[in-house]
Structure 1
Amino acid sequence: MRNKITILSILSLLCLLGACSSLTSVNDNDILIKTKSGNISKDDLYKEVVNTERGKELVQELVYMQILKGKYEVSDNEVNHRLTEIKEQVGDKDEFTIFLQKQGFNNENELKDYIEQSLYFLKATTEGLKVSDKQIKDYYEQNKDQYTKVRTSHILVKNESDAKIVDEELKKGNDFTELAKKQSTDKVSASQGGDLGYLSGRSQELDPTFLAAAMKLKKGEVSEPVKTLFGYHIIKVTDRKEKPLSEVEDQIKQTLMEKDAKPIQEVLNNLNKEIEIKEDVFKDVFKNVESKEPNMSH
């Protein structure tokens, strides 16, 4: 059978090192680490793999990824492209560092490994699916806010009557920046003339009412008073950047394919048919296997 993998091959290095479970004694050549409180042997490492859930999960990951790498190809360009998309969504360098920490990655290379795994599973679950140019274009037009950033300023006041006063001042031609400095209750942005920087249509941290109002504005336009939990905002868009379809076509294609992807359990069951178990200690490792597909919801 094509790409048949054996559990024995995964453990070959350990066994070659003398870490098989039949060992009855430990000599100096079998010691991996020495401490004053005791030593860690090759046999200890073997037992950690075969007798713990963590070890079984490691074997599952090694086997599944070896099979997938024999069936599909994921290039460095694909991984780096996805990494770039994540960085753009997260924000600047400091925010990206915080993102890595929150998601449990020690560094960028760990995230890249995770992305690579997710792409292999994506190819396995979407094999044979087709997406037309029309579907991609329609999705882009219907979700253009996702691919747009607007630089926004606002003036925040406590109540509707104050908002109407500010609105009238602006209609008389008074400068937005100066009014923000004097009238806005958001003291952080007020010191910058109300500037909030660039906001993404994908942002999940902002009040959705505020974000929806900002995304509707053209460059230079000012909104009517917008009510949120924080009070009333007068919003101005000072710049607007839209990614062209050509830059996000692959991303949209992936999104559309994911909607019709096969259940991951179906894929795992098919992969299980290609596994030949040679070590009795692993006979139950691939029974009732839960989804191992990396989830890039970070």
Structure 2
Amino acid sequence: MNKIRKIVSLVIMVAMLFVIQGCKNTETGKNQGKEAETIVAKIGEKEITLADLNEEMDYMIATLKEQYGKDFDKNEEVKELLKQQREQFLDYLVETEVFLQKAEQMNITASDEEAQEKIQVIKGQFETEEEFAEALKENGLTIEKLQQQVLDEVKIGKVIDAIFEKIEITDDQVNAFYDENKEYYTQEPGAMMSHILVGTEEEAKNIKEKYTAGTAFETLAAEYGTDATKDNGGSLGYVSYEEENIDADFLEAAKQLKEGEVSEPIETQFGWHLIQVKDIQTESRIIPVSELIEEIKYMLTQEEQYEIYYASLDEWKEELNVETHKDRL
């Protein structure tokens, strides 16, 4: 079940990378028969038919067919998951169309230059132009269609920016949140920790010699580190000495270090480390609000954005008399 769920989720994410516009115009002849007559959603004067939805999901269905065979839709687990994804995809298409109609009402436009900038980002996910062209072909797209879809994505982004622009979190809001949640801001004994992870003890010893000779720890981490922390000088941030998600041998070694000290090579299940600790804290403390202002503002902003987004969407759906008919899927 989990394997099927992961495959279906991956497929819909890949499909959505290219299906930005949602219910696009189709050539006459493609949407024929009962599916073309079955309306599954209406946004203002815009209708989405079952044929439109199925066309958008062609890539997903083809992938499932390849994975499970031509009778994939007889697999009960796949059948149920496909039903769920079909409903979610319809919601996505409706939401997209609502935002596009709202962009038109707000006189929001997008330029070819803005679209090209986004297309270059998409291209950057492929190693060659040939791979990019092949991906377009596999998804039934031309560069012209992609450009139009990206133009719509830019418009939607501008609508979202417009409804978020008045959000301003005040100091009073920050302080009120902090006072209500102060017990969650207890910091246990620990330190600001950095490390350099390498494959062998010999490598670690050689790096330690370079540090002793005067090379900055951050510089050595960037040059020799083998994990993601190398990009920020080996920093792990503040780590409690009792942190459950950090290797116990690593933490035991860190506990023994003095302020600013760098350890000898330490072996863990991940390899060999050099560890540096700073700002050692030997007792628990309540973190003051002055150290949390940006973090709390960011969190409260996210909450307000979520509320405004869905409140606006609900309001616009009502305004546009949106109808959905999931029983027809």
Asked if TM exceeds 0.5, the reply is: no
More helix by share: 2
- Using the size of structure 2 for normalisation, the TM-score is 0.30
